[in-house]
Each structure stands twice: as C-alpha cells, then as structure tokens.
C-alpha cells in the first residue's frame, strides 16, 4: 500500500510539468536541429540515380579520403583509449597539486576552436617547431602527414574517453581489487581481469564517440594534414568542402550521406555491444 501510494505521488510530482508539453518541446527541438537537417541530406542525395551516386562515391580521391579518415580516426581512438584510461586513472586515484586544473583542462579540446588547435599543432610539429625540429632530425615528419592528422584527432577525441571512464573508476568499489589481491593476483592481473572488464562498456562508449567525431572532424585536421591528394592526407570533410567550392552539390551530398550512415553505424554498433554487455550485469 505504502509503495503504491509513493509511486502515485511520484507520478504527480515530476519536476517538468506534463508529459505532453515536455515531449512536444523535445520533438520540436529535435526536429529543427537534428532530424530535418539530416533528412534533407537524404532527400538531396535521393535526387541522384544509384549509378550516379556510386560513380560519385567511387571516385579515387573520395575513396582514399574515406580510407584516410577512417584509418586515422580509428588509430586515434585506440590511442585515446589507452591514454584516456591512464589520464582518468591518475585523476581518480591520486592526489597531486594541480589536479583540479588538469581535470578542468580535459575539456579544453571541446571549448577551444578546433582551428586554433589545428594551427598550433601544425606549427609545433612542423620542421621549425619545438618537438617537430627534433623529430625531423630523426627523419620523422609529423605535420602535413597522416601522423600529424592522427595527432590532431587524438587531441580532439581525448575528452570523450576520459569523461566516459572517470565516473566508472570513481564508483568502482575498491573491494574488487582487494578481493583479487587476497586471492593472490598480481597488480597486472587485477587490472586486466578485474578492472578492465568493469571499464569496458564505458571505454567502448568513449571509443565510439571519439571515432565518430574523428571521422567527421574538419577544423583541426585541415591545417595539419596538408590536404594533399597525392600523399593521401585529404579527409572526407575536406573533400566535401572542396566539392562545395566547385559548386558540385551532388557529389557533396552523396559523400555526406555516406558519412551520415557511417557515423550512425558506429554508434549503433557500440550501442549493440553495450546492450549485450549490460545483460550480464543487469
């Protein structure tokens, strides 16, 4: 009886009034900002016949742009997963001076105009910049290559991973590690067998977001990648921009549609794996 009454009370005391009203606002905002723009991409590309569509997509520079974008984003997302876990670990498990500052800096890639990051990184890693000078002596060129491109994508994607992992690490009960310890497991084994599985769903989310963001990234990438068709450093968003400059709207929307589908697939896949994993612990 008591439980029932409480439930009823909760129903009438929601913070945002009225399911109808709030749902209406949600749908309107979502339509104006997300659904209609995305649908228009779809409608524009529908104007193309399938042969035209595949011919536009199949062009050499478009194909190579896709493979560059996907490969570099993937590598960047993987690097971010390793680096992000370490960063989150340090932020959660240790106390050190400047911890709050470092914690605040994590979001900087979100806040900073990506063009600023792109220009700074490309100057730094150019032959005349500080680390770039020494790397050049070793024969490693970073700016205007795929390496530079990947570095820019790592910069852009790191907050996704750190912010996905951090709350999970904070909530992780220390008794799991202690249990592993009592059973004689080494630190490496505890991390691999006990902590990592706990982090996996969050890690996957961070990976998916960083990857999807990397595939679509424009601002930071165009300054550092050099955008050379010959060196295969053109990314997809650059190619779209190029097509728009040449007033080739058909090609631009065709590529945009593929990117849309790709991003959707990445996030969908991540979600599927999440659901599968959640079944074990729910």
Partner 1 sequence: MYVEMKDIEKHYGDFKASDHVNFGIEKGKLVALLGPSGSGKTTILRMLAGLENPDSGDILIDGKRINDIPAAKRDIGFVFQNYALFRYMTVFDNIAFGLEVQKVPKAQIKERVMELIQLTGLSGMEKRYPSQLSGGQRQRVAFARALAPNPQVLLLDEPFAAIDAKVRTELRNWLKDMIHKVGITSIFVTHDQDEAVEVADEIIITNHGRIEQTGTPMEIYKTPETPFVAQFIGKSTVVSHYEQLNGFDSVAGASQAVIRPEFVRVSKSGRLEQYMSAAEEGTVEEVVFRGNHLELTINIKGISIKAERSLEKDPVSVGEKVQVLIYRLYIFDENRTYLMENSAMQENDVFYI
Q: State the nearest-atom distance from the C-beta of 274 to partner 1, in Å.
A: 14
CA 22, 24, 28, 30: dihedral to nearest 10 degrees? 60
Nearer to partner 1 by Cβ, of 104 and 184: the residue is 184
Q: Where are the alpha helices (DSSP H) in 106-248?
A: 108-111, 114-124, 130-137, 146-171, 174-182, 187-190, 196-216, 219-225, 236-245
Residues contacting partner 1: total by CB under 8 A: 21
Q: Least Å distance between CB 171 and partner 1?
A: 13
**CB 269, min distance to partner 1, A:** 20
CA distances from 45 to 181, 217, 256 (A): 58, 21, 9
Q: Which of 245, 79, 59, 243 is nearest to 149 (CA)?
A: 79
What are the φ/ψ torsions at residue 146 (nearest 5 degrees)?
-65, -30
CB 123 within 8 A of CB 223: no
Per-residue binder mask for partner 1 (CB under 8 A), 196-225, x = binder? -xx-x-------------------------
Closest distance to partner 1 from the beta carbon of 97 (Å): 21
**Closer Cβ to partner 1, 51 or 173, answer by number:** 173
Per CB under 8 A, does 178 bind partner 1? yes
Q: Does 183 bind partner 1 (CB under 8 A)?
A: yes
Q: Which of 26, 67, 175, 228 binds partner 1 (CB under 8 A)?
A: 175
Residue from 176, 218, 241, 267 binding partner 1 (CB under 8 A) = 176
Smaller CB separation from partner 1, 198 or 248? 198
Q: Nearest approach, Cβ of 29 to partner 1 (angstroms)? A: 36
Residue with Cβ nearer partner 1 (63 or 189) = 189
Among 4, 100, 184, 188, binds partner 1 (CB under 8 A): 184
- Whichever of 12 and 281 has its CB closer to partner 1, that residue is 281
Query: Widest CA span of the chain, in angstroms?
Result: 78
Contact 197, 129 (CB under 8 A): no
Residue 82 as a binder of partner 1 (CB under 8 A): the answer is: no
For the record, the structure tokens of 35 come out as: 């659904």
Residue closer to partner 1 by CB (options 108, 179) is: 179
The Cβ-side half-sphere exposure at 170, using a 13 Å CA radius, reads 10
Using CB under 8 A as the binding rule, whether residue 193 contacts partner 1 is answered as yes
Give the torsion sign (CA, 146, 151, 153, 154): positive
Distances in Å between the Cα of 95 and the Cα atoms of 73, 89, 92, 161 are 32, 11, 8, 21
Chain positions contacting partner 1, by CB under 8 A: 173, 175-176, 178-186, 189, 193-194, 197-198, 200, 280-282
């Amino acid at each position: 009886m008591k439980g029932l009454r409480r439930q009823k009370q909760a129903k009438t005391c929601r913070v945002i009034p009225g399911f109808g009203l709030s749902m209406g606002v949600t749908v309107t905002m979502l339509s104006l900002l997300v659904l209609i723009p995305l649908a228009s991409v779809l409608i524009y590309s529908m104007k193309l016949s399938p042969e035209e569509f595949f011919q536009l997509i199949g062009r050499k520079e478009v194909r190579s742009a896709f493979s560059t974008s996907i490969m570099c984003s993937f590598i960047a997302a993987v690097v971010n997963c390793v680096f992000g876990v370490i960063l989150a670990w340090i932020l959660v498990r240790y106390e050190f001076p400047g911890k709050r500052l470092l914690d605040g800096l994590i979001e900087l890639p979100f806040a900073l105009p990506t063009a600023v990051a792109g220009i700074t990184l490309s100057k730094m890693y150019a032959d005349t910049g500080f680390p770039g000078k020494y790397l050049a002596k070793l024969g490693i060129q970073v700016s205007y290559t795929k390496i530079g491109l990947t570095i820019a994508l790592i910069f852009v994607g790191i907050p996704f991973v750190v912010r996905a992992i951090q709350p999970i690490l904070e909530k992780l009960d220390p008794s799991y590690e202690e249990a592993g310890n009592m059973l004689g497991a080494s630190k490496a084994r505890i991390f691999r067998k006990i902590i990592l599985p706990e982090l996996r769903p969050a890690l996957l989310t961070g990976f998916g977001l960083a990857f999807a963001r990397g595939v679509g990234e424009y601002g930071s990438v165009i300054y550092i990648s050099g955008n050379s068709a010959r060196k295969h450093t053109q990314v997809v968003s650059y190619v779209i921009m190029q097509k728009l400059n040449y007033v080739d709207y058909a090609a631009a929307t065709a590529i945009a549609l593929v990117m849309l589908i790709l991003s959707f697939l990445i996030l969908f896949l991540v979600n599927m794996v999440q659901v599968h994993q959640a079944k074990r612990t729910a």
